[in-house]
């Protein structure tokens, strides 16, 4: 693979604040030079690509996705997820352990990593289960799983509900300086609810999930972090109370990070409409006040990252009565345009919005990616910030089409995706 020169690009690196027009040189899969240094060093034999002034940024790092392989390949597999991600400017995915078998064994960790390398379209890293079989009782061998390549420990879409188990998990993780991730939804308060507790749920006659189900578990965990000193990450925050709790914990100096997902800043509970199951998520879509609090949390850095929360389901799992339908939506192919909405609407500066899907998740997970700098892997996305288009689930590369955003007009599209200096996607339209 010869050198690659990307010229006439708007070089945009949220981590360093770089925002300039120039060139980027790739040699042997890594960034050799960027900006003025690259312009002065472009070798004659390099393949040159004119970026036509479009934004060249680090490839997106999606720190929370369900990829369904092994075990549920009819919903999604590592190949189709990789194709969906590459087409959307995502170069790194971290997948949840709720597969079949569960990723609670080093052999399964190694299987996922090897399959990702063999496919070669994106970098795929697994989380491992925090408890054996995701049962919330007995801890997994975190040290051995981390050696095998697990980036963190979580029970996926299940909360670690027991305070005693969570304290032991945090204590064990602290010994090895590992990350514990929580799905913050207190199960005795959230079951059997299907949507946010409030006026809309009452009108529809649906059991509700109160916002305190999230806040209580976050606040409990933060007290345990205070005791153990462990690294803790709260996933897909959806409530004003949880955002406020994390903000206070950060001011206190605790080792805590968090993320949210696009539905929680782009939609509210009204999207459920008349029992629209494609808008059923876990945690559920919340009130507009909660939605605004999530946006504010992203803007001020309380919410570190934005993840796709990709959860593929087939039509049979969604076309059921609301209370029986599966929770979750696909998100890989809408992560970039929905994040860009925050900037286009003037709600979040462009640098902060794009850092939430590049540098911030890379820093949380201690990955060597998410930045435009000499020596960094050449994992890149070339983006037309202003390209108008309409989300069309029928055009998704993902096997599943369960998205509440079908038909939504958006701005911003990945024109090209580069992984380790190889072009893995080019837009054809």
List the catalytic residue out of 290, 309, 355, 379: 309
Give residue for tokens 């879509």.
285
Give residue for tokens 């339209």.
429
Is there a contact between 283 and 185 (Cβ–Cβ < 8 Å)?
yes
- What whole-number distance in Å separates Cα of residue 70 and Cα of residue 25? 38
Active site residue 429: no
- What whole-number distance in Å separates Cα of residue 200 and Cα of residue 197? 8
* Cis peptide bond upstream of 10, omega within 30: no
- What whole-number distance in Å separates Cα of residue 134 and Cα of residue 136? 6
Q: Residue 116 has which token pair? A: 């990702």
Alpha helices, DSSP H, located in 205-306: 212-228, 240-252, 263-266, 288-299
Is there a contact between 308 and 66 (Cβ–Cβ < 8 Å)?
no
Find all residues with CB under 8 Å of 331, minimum gap 6, and list them: 65, 261, 262, 263, 307, 308, 309, 310, 311, 403
Give residue for tokens 């955002």.
243
Return the biggest CA–CA distance within the chain: 68
Q: Would you please indicate which residues are annotated as catalytic (active-site) residues?
A: 309
């Amino acid at each position: 693979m010869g050198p690659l020169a990307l010229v006439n690009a708007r070089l945009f690196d949220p981590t360093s604040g770089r925002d300039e027009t120039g060139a980027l040189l790739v040699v042997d899969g890594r960034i050799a030079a960027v900006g003025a240094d690259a312009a002065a060093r472009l070798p004659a034999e390099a393949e040159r690509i004119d970026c036509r002034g479009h934004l060249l940024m680090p490839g997106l790092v999606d720190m929370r996705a369900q990829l369904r392989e092994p075990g549920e390949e009819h919903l999604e597999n590592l190949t189709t997820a990789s194709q969906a991600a590459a087409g959307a400017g995502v170069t790194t995915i971290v997948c949840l352990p709720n597969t079949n078998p569960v990723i609670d064994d080093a052999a399964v960790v190694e299987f996922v990593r090897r399959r990702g390398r063999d496919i070669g379209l994106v970098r795929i890293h697994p989380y491992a289960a925090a408890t054996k079989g995701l049962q919330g009782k007995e801890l997994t061998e975190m040290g051995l799983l981390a050696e095998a390549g697990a980036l963190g420990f979580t029970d996926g879409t299940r909360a670690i509900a027991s305070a005693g188990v969570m304290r032991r998990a945090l204590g064990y993780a602290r010994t090895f300086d590992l990350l514990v991730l929580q799905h913050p939804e207190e199960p005795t308060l959230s079951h059997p609810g299907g949507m946010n507790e409030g006026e809309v749920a009452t009108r529809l006659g649906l059991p509700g999930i109160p916002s305190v189900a999230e806040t209580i578990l976050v606040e409990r965990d933060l007290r345990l972090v205070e005791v153990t000193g462990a690294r803790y990450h709260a996933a897909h925050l959806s409530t004003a109370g949880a955002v406020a709790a994390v903000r206070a914990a950060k001011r206190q100096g605790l080792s805590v990070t968090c993320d949210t997902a696009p539905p929680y800043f782009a939609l509210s509970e009204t999207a459920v409409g008349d029992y629209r199951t494609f808008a059923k998520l876990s945690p559920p879509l919340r009130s507009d006040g909660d939605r605004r609090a999530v946006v504010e949390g992203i803007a001020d850095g309380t919410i570190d990252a934005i993840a796709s929360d990709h959860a593929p389901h087939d039509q049979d799992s969604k076309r059921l009565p609301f209370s029986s339908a599966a929770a979750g939506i696909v998100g890989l192919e809408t992560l970039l345009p929905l994040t860009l909405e925050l900037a286009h609407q003037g709600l979040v500066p462009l640098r902060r919005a794009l850092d939430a899907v590049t540098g911030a998740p890379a820093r949380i997970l201690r990955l060597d990616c998410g930045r435009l700098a000499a020596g960094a892997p050449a994992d890149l996305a070339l983006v037309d910030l202003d390209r108008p288009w309409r989300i069309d689930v029928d055009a998704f590369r993902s096997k599943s089409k369960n998205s509440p955003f079908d038909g939504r007009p958006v701005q911003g599209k990945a024109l090209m995706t580069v992984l380790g200096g190889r072009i893995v996607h080019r837009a054809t339209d």
